[in-house]
Structure 1
Amino acid sequence: MILSDQQLNTLAVVGRASSALSILGVATIIITFSFSKNFRNPMHRLIFINAFYNLFDFIATMISVSGPNAGDESALCRFQAFSLQMFPLADVFWTLAMAYDVFLIVFYHYDAEDLRRLEFKFITIITALVFIPALIFLFIRTPAKGPMYGSETIWCSISPQWVVFRILFYYGPVWLLIAFAMILYCLVGIRVFKLRQNLNIGRADHIQLSSKTSIENHSNTKTSSTLQDDEISIHTTSEHTIESPKSPITPPPTSRIHPRPNHHQSGVSFRHYVLMPLIFFLVMLSTWVAPTINRVQAFIRHDQTSYPLLVAVVATGSLRGFWNGIIFITIGMKGRRRSGRLANHITSIT
């Protein structure tokens, strides 16, 4: 099926409109994070870092059909193909990184400082994994198949002649990473359901990060302190008995005070550290449904193209940044209002 000029123009308009909204959403995330102190927790930081990867992704989709129209050997087509190979895959990696952070919070009681230490590792590993293949593909070509990057009707990416590589190095890793993220969120969901009362989730919007080990140490220290008090009391009693056997035994003085160890407890917001990454994952998951169906159909039936499916691809795939911006602002503002009400309540009590 060969698309008409009108259909191509419609695809370009839909794709560019979605890309423009996504760029607006990315700008909202970057500006909000930069100027508001209420959006600075580690999850916000991961979303902020990923926003720069998303920016190049949506710039590439904004190019739309101009890339294929410029020709497979053009710099515009090759830049678009390189960007669409690298940055959408990076977005999936960052979503998995957020899922991994949620797993560490719920199962291993990682706090904000622990999560911040992982950021540089995430940046290094994710950038290397997506940049190296995308760069190598720029230089791969054969006389029979031509360059690996080429026209894909709605934009430039790995060309149809290299479709196996597109499955192995693009859609395959994407859905493998999505599967890993699903497993992590399922484990987290089971854990949260079992411990929902202990984690203090609900109106308090709070996950307690104190571990059982610290509680046991505190109990052991308290017990040893009590035993030490008892020992001191029994020595005191003996002295009183020797000095005046006929006098009544008086209780030991209570001036000695054994300070109790401080039990350090920390917590994080369930809304910011669990709910927001989960919603980001669901949005990302929904954007990959239409492109994957389109790719499977193209792989099975090389001579058929579904125009409605292409419209869905350019609309949903390019609109991800817009939804990310809405989620970032909405959940962040709700968390800010909740924190403000909690602070006012504590102030009124004290």
Structure 2
Amino acid sequence: MTSHAQAYTLGLLERVGGCISLMAVLFVLLAYALIPKARNPRNTFIMFACVANLGASIACIIARDGLNRGEDSSLCRAQSFLLHMFMQSDAWWSLGMSVHTFLVVFGRTDPNSLSMWRYCLVCFGGPFATAFPLFFVSNPIRGPVYGATNVWCWIRDDWASVRLFTSYLFVWTCIIGSVVLNTVVGYRIFTTRNKIRNFSSSRSQHSTGHDQLSFANSPAHLHGSPYATIVTQVSITRAPASIITEPSPTHLHSTSQAIRSSSQEQITHSSIITSHNVSHETPRIIKAAKRAITKFRLQDPIKRAYLRTTFLFTLSVLVSWIPASINRIHSLQHGSVPFPYQAAMVSVMPLQGVWNAVIFYMTSRKTLREWAWEKWGFKTLGPVSIAGEATERVVEEANVNRHQDPADSGSDVELNYILRLPVKKFK
């Protein structure tokens, strides 16, 4: 049993954390509603998770008032439902974002082709399906499922197995699934990145060696010149009326002139040749590798941005539920929970909305600064990197032709998009 001072401390921690989380959630919802550029698929997941955090924050602000009203009061039962449904919904949305990132990386899914109603059906419908029926579950011996606990109204200790299988089991399944998917995606991204880097490095070394060999075989008087030009001279001793047939200009740009020697019937044909391609046909494997490198360099920042957001989202859920899980394990083993454990749980769990707001700001800070500059005309945290932001929003805002070959990167469309961006001058 907790003393009066301990109960007051727990209630204060719950209210403070709930109020901070509520303000953070409102910030995310307002930013998502007011800034169109912030409405990308990653932020859409965070926004819906913040809707769940809104319900959990309200439940935390109620704090111990439900306990003071009594287990049978409507306030206590409402707080129990809000905590049971919305507190675990954050973990469901974390798994949903991990699944979406997996599909983007492995399934070559367009990030904009997002069926949010399916994710909403699962991530809200799953917790609702476990929370709503508990209103009607009761037992003459153990009483109703929703009732008083040590810190707030939730599932009563007499129904500990129900709390375990309808809350903690789902939460940790979502957390483990998110960690596994993030690990697989991260391994795929960084191994592919290393392969591309190694290929580019070996190709660069091969090209350098070839250039050095050609340079060594070139005439000595060209070594010191910054510009090398191949000069071909053909001497023909024949009648002056002969017609000189020049090379086909299909792949060559040539400047030719005929010089007649006064001493003899000799025509010297001087041709300055500049070639744009050494070989007539580049091997197909090199072309395919070039397309792969171009495509990976374009998509790599986007995929890493998805992975970073998903990883931070999963980490926030993990941090929120570790104290509560330790609390539950200690309760099952010893039948009671020390006050420090309870204080740690009520200090961390209400802050889920804060973590999501931090993630939202970290992934959208450039967009937020741009919007603040356009709206009020002041610079918040320094100049905006237009090229970096454009690269990050390539897949989200550039419409690449869906009918082209999958190996093509659509870089022309994206390059034109980047070049069309206005350049802002910051004083």
TM over 0.5: yes
Partner of 1:316: 348
Aligned residue-pair number:
290
Amino acid at match of 1:290: P
Cα distance, 1:142 vs structure 2: 0.8
CA distance in 2, matches of 1:323, 1:253: 62
SS of the equivalent of 1:110 reads coil
Separation (CA, whole Å) in 2 of partners of 1:11 and 1:128: 31
Q: Distance in 1 between matches of 2:173 and 2:125?
A: 18
Partner of 1:244: none
1:301 corresponds to = 334
- In structure 1, distance between residues paired with 2:388 and 2:183: 32
Shift in CA distance, 342/292, structure 1 to aligned 2, threshold 3 Å: closer
**2:420, 2:339 → 1: CA distance?**
60
Gaps of 5+ in 1: 201-247, 255-262
Shift of 1:252: 12
* Aligned partner of residue 150 in structure 2, secondary structure: coil
Matched, 1:3 2:2: yes
Name the residue aligned to 2:46. 47
Residue 59 of structure 2: aligned partner? 60
Supply the distance in 1 between the matched residues of 2:248 and 2:170 (Cα, whole angstroms): 74
Which residue among 178, 194, 215 is the counterpart of 1:181?
178
Mapping of residues 200-279 of structure 1, within 5 Å: 267=299, 269-270=302-303, 272-279=305-312
Residue in structure 1 matching 2:358, options 323, 326, 329: 326
Distance 2:389 2:364 in 1: 15
The counterpart of 2:137, out of the listed 137, 140, 144, is 140
Q: Match of 1:155? A: 152
CA contact (8 A) 1:63 1:80 kept: yes
> Aligned partner of 2:141: which letter?
A
**Does the CA contact (< 8 Å) of 1:65 and 1:153 recur in 2?**
no
Change (3 A) 1:55 1:185: same
Q: Distance in 1 between matches of 2:350 and 2:162?
A: 23
Q: Distance in 2 between matches of 1:41 and 1:342?
A: 13
Q: Does structure 1 retain, via aligned residues, the 8 Å contact 2:32–2:47? A: yes
What amino acid is aligned across from residue 69 of structure 1 in structure 2? N
Q: CA deviation at 1:151?
A: 0.4
What displacement does 1:125 show?
2.1
The 5 A counterparts of 1:77-156 are: 77-114=76-113, 116=114, 118-156=115-153
TM-score normalized by the length of structure 2: 0.63
Structure 2 residue identity aligned to 1:317? M
* Cα distance, 1:27–1:271 mapped onto 2, change above 3 Å: farther
Cα distance in 1 between the residues matched to 2:66 and 2:89 = 21
Once the two structures are overlaid, the 10-residue window that deviates more, 320-329 or 289-298, is 320-329
Unaligned runs of 5+ in 2: 198-244, 252-290, 371-383, 391-416
State the TM-score, normalizing by the size of structure 1: 0.76
For residue 269 of structure 1, give the secondary structure of its aligned residue in structure 2. Answer: helix
In 1: Cα distance, 2:361 partner to 2:31 partner: 8
CA distance in 1 between counterparts of 2:196 and 2:53 reads: 34
RMSD: 2.8
Query: Aligned partners of 1:131, 1:138: CA distance in 2, in Å?
Result: 11
- Displacement of 1:346: 4.5
In structure 2, give the amino acid aligned to 1:319.
L
Deviations 1:41-78 (A, max 9, x none): 11111111221111001100111111111111110000
Task: Verify the 8 A CA contact 2:175 2:318 in the aligned structure 1.
Answer: yes
Query: Greater share of strand residues, 1 or 2?
Result: 2
Shift of 1:345: 8.3
The structure-2 alpha-carbon separation of the partners of 1:106 and 1:140, relative to structure 1 and needing over 3 Å to count, comes to same
Task: State which of 316, 322, 329 in structure 2 corresponds to 1:289.
Answer: 322
CA contact (8 A) 2:96 2:123 kept: no
Structure 1 residues 198 and 58: alpha-carbon distance in aligned structure 2, compared to 1, 3 A threshold: farther
User: How far apart are residue 176 of structure 1 and its match?
Assistant: 1.1
Secondary structure, counterpart of 2:141 in structure 1: coil
- Which secondary structure does the structure 2 equivalent of 1:138 belong to? helix
Distance 1:157 1:346, change over 3 A: same
Flag the structure with larger Rg: 2
Q: For residue 102 of structure 1, what is the amino acid of its counterpart?
A: T
On the 8 A contact 1:29/1:51 being kept in 2, the answer is: yes
Describe the SS at the equivalent of 1:150. Answer: strand
**Structure 2 counterpart of 1:260:** none
Residue in 2 aligned with 1:204? none
Query: Structure 1 residue runs of 4+, over 3 Å off?
Result: 197-200, 250-254, 263-268, 334-348
Question: Are 1:19 and 2:18 matched, yes or no?
Answer: yes
Which residue number corresponds to residue 168 of structure 2?
171
Distance 1:342 1:165 in 2: 47
**Structure 1 residues 103 and 342, CA gap change in structure 2 (3 angstroms):** closer
Residues 253, 185 of structure 1: CA spacing in aligned structure 2 closer, same or farther, 3 A cutoff?
closer
In structure 2, relative to structure 1, the CA distance for the partners of 1:107 and 1:5 (3 Å cut) is same
| One-letter amino acid of the structure 1 residue matched with residue 313 of structure 2 | F
Specify the code of the residue in structure 1 equivalent to 2:185: V
